[in-house]
Amino acid sequence: MELNDFIAYVQQHLDASSEESVLALEPQLRALGANRRFLAQYLASSLNSPTFQSGNPYAGHTFVLGGGKDFAVRAVCWLPAGDAQTQPHVYRAAEPDPIAHTHPFSLLTYGYAGPGYETAVYGCDPEELLERAVGEPIALSTARRHTLSCGEVLFFPAFRVAHIQYPPAEYSISLNLIVRPPNPRRYEQYFVSPARQVLTGATNGQLHLAVGILDAARYLAPERSIPLLTQIAAVHPLRTVREHAAKTLEVVHERITYEPA
Amino acid sequence: MALVERETLRAALASADTFERFCRSVRPHFESLLRSGLVERLMLRDLDRLAGGSARESVRDLLFDDDAGYLDLFPGPHQAARVLEGSGGHRLIGLMGGSVTARTYRHPADHDPNVLESTCVPQEVNEVLLTRGDVIDAEAWRDVVDIRGDGLLLVLRSSVVHPTRWAYDRHTLRPVGLMPATRALGRLVEGLELLSHIGESADGPICDQLAKHPAHAVRWQAIRTAFALECPGARALIENAVRDVHPEVREAATLALERWS
């Protein structure tokens, strides 16, 4: 299967609200992975383009190959443990408290090359993650360990699992189909300590733009920004956005107090 | 309106092929934009949209980041990091709100910016307190600007003049590292590295093309990839690299040839 055929197939058959629909795409992802030339051909034809990977928001050896309204197809390269470069969310040797992360999207992934990363997967309750504050306890299930070796497929459902990724023994490549579910209330990513069973952080992966807007809003005229910030802090569906708006409000109020017009 | 302003700036950037022209022809447009209130209006619209649950950014219609350069917003606080970073393009830095100090250093003598030289230390020029609407300019590589304080910066950078930029120790100002001037250049190197793992000798032409790239890191990775894929022209690429303009490429090519023979 060629990359364009895979994208067209997903476009036509994917129901982003259904995990079963994502899982049903496994044969097509395998068929794409069985094509041992498509990724090299993609690179050979695009590396010299001035727009190569322009708009790719990901750090760390991740290439966006295409996508549609609710999904993206990526190739991710996993660097071996001894490599001087580091990748986000990958375990580093001697880390005393490894942190697992959830995904705000479903991930169907295929081991395309190399021995692949090992991952410890923990089940978690999405409702509990939504309700807890950072520092509060989170119940995680016992870890299941998997290796994304060449030809293997793993599925990480959105919100329901947290996992730690360990760097592979050698350079490895995975193909990802990521699917964004339609419920924006779920667009947060969480970080948890399996050892301490504690929520250690929450970010706003899909709505990072919102945080940028709020950071910049601190410098706007307060008579215009305060009513809007107050509304966001009270009613925005995402907790991280509400909390960030509340903090921004505090900063704006402090500025008014200490810098009278 | 945002699109018109953006295209005006991009057109001005396209015609500014020297730092002197950049200051003469781009700066007036930038200052006009900074003082027009357009950015604030777009930010307020974004805040209003966020209050309605949407995170679409109107201000993104104005900002850009591509081959022409970039225009972006940087909210504070701007804190002193251990390492100061230079720029591969000319810059205009304007303050939209808040207050910051800008300390400017300048390389007094010419040097090839693509070759790191630890004794090539920039000298302090001045330190100025920026207030709303102030703009400073900085020449690619030659000027290093250290911004501190809590303010919203609007930064316009030209297209890449030098494919690499330097990092400096903040305390000694000694150059300590060489980085790709843009994320796109880093991605090229990563893409070539990926190709070296999955490609075949038929992918040689892209290596030949990128072995002539202005950035030495891209040139060398293209040669390494051609070598890894056993492309027919790999030996010729390495032999040519012995005469490369960059000393690190020359050194690595010489070593590779010795090992080969």
Band (A184; pLDDT cuts 50, 70, 90) = low
Chain-wide mean pLDDT for chain A?
89
- Give the closest-approach CA distance of B123 to chain A in angstroms: 32
Q: Please determine, for residue A213, whether its predicted confidence score (pLDDT) is greater than 90.
A: no
Read off the pLDDT of residues A111-161 as tens digits, 9 standing for 90 and up. 999 999 999 999 999 888 888 888 899 999 999 999 999 999 999 999 899
Residue from the list A56, A173, A225 with its beta carbon closest to the beta carbon of B47: A225
Residue B74 in tokens: 């940087």
Q: Please determine, for residue A188, whether its predicted confidence score (pLDDT) is greater than 90.
A: no
Contacts of A39 in chain B (CB under 8 A): 194, 198
Helix (H, G, I), strand (E, B) or coil at A144: strand
Q: Please determine, for residue A39, whether its predicted confidence score (pLDDT) is greater than 90.
A: yes
Q: Please determine, for residue B106, whether its predicted confidence score (pLDDT) is greater than 60.
A: yes
Interchain proximity A219–B191, CB inside 8 Å = no
- Which H helix or E strand runs over B196? helix B183-198
Q: Angle at the Cα of A205 (from B99 to B181), degrees rounded to 5?
A: 60
| A40 interfaces chain B, CB cutoff of 8 Å | yes
Q: How far apart (Å, rounded) are the C-alpha atoms in residues B233 and A46?
A: 20
What is the pLDDT at residue B200? 96
- Which H helix or E strand runs over B71? strand B69-74
Residues of B with CB under 8 A from a CB of A: 40, 43-44, 46-48, 50-51, 53, 55-57, 59-60, 66-67, 73, 75, 96-98, 151-152, 184, 187-188, 190-195, 197-200, 203, 205-206, 209-210
Q: Please determine, for residue A14, whether its predicted confidence score (pLDDT) is greater than 90.
A: yes
Which residue of chain A is at minimal alpha-carbon distance from B198? A40
User: Among A113-117, A155-159, A254-258, B3-7, where is mean pLDDT lowest?
Assistant: A254-258
Interchain proximity A47–B190, CB inside 8 Å = no
What is the pLDDT at residue B210? 96
Contacts of B51 in chain A (CB under 8 A): 228, 231-232, 235-236
CATH number of B2-181: 2.60.120.10
Q: How far apart (Å, rounded) are the C-alpha atoms in residues B214 and B155?
A: 25
What is the pLDDT at residue B114? 87
The predicted model gives B38-64 an average pLDDT of 83
The domain ranges of chain B are 2-181, 184-260
What is the pLDDT at residue A259? 60
Chain-wide mean pLDDT for chain B?
91
The predicted model gives A65-93 an average pLDDT of 82
Query: What ipTM did this prediction achieve?
Result: 0.85
Contacts of A52 in chain B (CB under 8 A): 184, 187-188, 191
Highest mean pLDDT of the ranges A11-25, B106-120, B174-188:
A11-25
Q: How far apart (Å, rounded) are the C-alpha atoms in residues A45 and A40?
A: 9
- Give the closest-approach CA distance of B207 to chain A in angstroms: 8
Contacts of A212 in chain B (CB under 8 A): 57, 73, 75
Residues 6+ apart with CB under 8 A from B255: none
Q: How far apart (Å, rounded) are the C-alpha atoms in residues A63 and A143?
A: 29
CA nearest to B227, candidates B249, B257, B247: B257
